[in-house]
Amino acid sequence: MPKARVYVTLKKSVFDPQGRTIHEALRSMGYEGVADVRQGKFFEVDLESMPAERARETVDEIARRVLANPVIESYRVEVEP
Considering only residues 6 through 25, tell me which ones interact with a second copy, judged by CB under 8 A: 7, 9, 19, 22, 25
Number of residues that this document lists for the chain: 81
Sign of CA dihedral 17, 21, 24, 30: negative
Q: Does 66 bind a second copy (CB under 8 A)?
A: yes
**Interacting residue with a second copy among 17, 36, 80, 81 (CB under 8 A):** 36
Residue 50 backbone dihedrals phi, psi, to 5 degrees: -160, 160
Q: Does 74 bind a second copy (CB under 8 A)?
A: no
**CA 16, CA 56: separation in Å to the nearest integer?**
29
Note the residues at the interface with a second copy (CB under 8 A).
Answer: 1, 7, 9, 19, 22, 25-26, 29, 31-48, 50, 54-55, 58, 62, 65-67
